[in-house]
Homo-oligomer: A and B are copies of this chain.
Amino acid sequence: MDPELFLDFANTVKGIHMFPYFDIAHYALSCIHVRDDMTSSVQLISRKHPLACWISSMVSCFAGYIIANFLLGEMVLAPFKNLDNVGLATLVWYLIFYSPFDVVYKMCKMLPVKATLSVMKEIQRVHKVYHGVEHAALLYPHAYLVQVIIGTVKGAGAGFTKIFERFIRGTWTPTGHEFLQPTFPTKACLAASVLFVVEAETEWITAPHSMVYLGVVIFFVYFKLSGLVLHMNDPFQPIENLFCAVFMGGVWDALSRAVQVSREKAAEKAANGEVDKKNK
């Protein structure tokens, strides 16, 4: 492939407008996620408590924006300023929950449709991570940690608001949150944020910016599709296990166990020796 053509393609991917098609894909998957999260109570909540259903869906759709604004001390309600976005999200929410004979929901759950929506959502996710990092960098130029955090929550916000969404729907599950078991999107957004911060602040990455962006998009799409089609596991798991074993006490714990065992054995031997001596 001609490298110039490839660069053009990368620039095109980076310049895609999110509104409305990619946003629709994101809203649809967010609402489906909320609906699937209700399991048995979906009829009850969507029919009897439409307000709670709508609010929890909106929180899920705009999760990244809301949390990032909260953390930056900006206006939490900001996503609701733009009526185009909220209107579109409300329309998608309505179709997912209340379409006649559930056609829209059933259609979206079909694999080809779901895969297409997922690919679009991942492209939008990278867009959000990148602009999150950029926005934070503009506000706090040398606060790299803040930039990484904002990039991560912008991309994977729905994971962090899950408990709050459930709370709005009347379910309280204080133990099922992202910090204890970060999901793959959260980890991927963290990695992407770190990459974007490193790219912006250091000279280590010499590739053109749009190529880096395209690489991140391909990474997100590839692992999303692997997960969807092949039910692949989290690719970060082995790295994490290694990291935990080396740095998070794994090695030292093993060593201290070994020391303890050897001491116990020595004590046992000594005791046996005592007994042997006595028996003599």
Contacts and interface: CB of A to CB of B under 8 A. Distances in A.
A171 B179 CA distance: 12
A6 to B, nearest CB: 36
Contacts of A52: 179-180
Contacts of A143: 80-83
Interface in A40-89: 46-52, 55, 69-78, 80-83, 86
Contact of A149 (B77, B100, B179, B248): B77
A267 interface: no
Nearest to A163: B167
Interface residues of A, number: 58
B81 A70 contact: no
Interface centre among A74, A149, A169, A253 (most CB of B within 10 A): A253
Interface string A74-108: 11111011110010000000000111110000000
Contacts of A181: 49
A255 B76 contact: no
A146 interface: yes
Nearest to A169: B180
A170 interface: yes
A248 B180 contact: no
A249 B180 contact: no
A250 interface: yes
A175 interface: yes
Q: Can you tell how many copies of this chain the complex includes?
A: 3
A182 B51 contact: yes
A145 interface: yes
A168 interface: yes
A86 B256 CA distance: 29
Given A174-B167, A248-B46, A140 B179 contact: no
Given A167-B174, A170-B180, A180-B169, A70 B76 contact: yes
Interface centre among A69, A149, A179 (most CB of B within 10 A): A179
A219 interface: no
6 contacts: A48-B244, A49-B179, A51-B182, A73-B78, A83-B142, A98-B249
Interface of A: 46-52, 55, 69-78, 80-83, 86, 97-101, 140, 142-146, 149-150, 167-172, 174-175, 177, 179-182, 244, 247-250, 252-253, 255-256
Given A49-B180, A80-B149, A167-B174, 17 more contacts: A46-B249, A47-B249, A47-B250, A49-B179, A50-B244, A51-B182, A71-B75, A72-B76, A80-B146, A81-B140, A83-B145, A86-B145, A100-B252, A101-B256, A168-B177, A170-B175, A171-B174
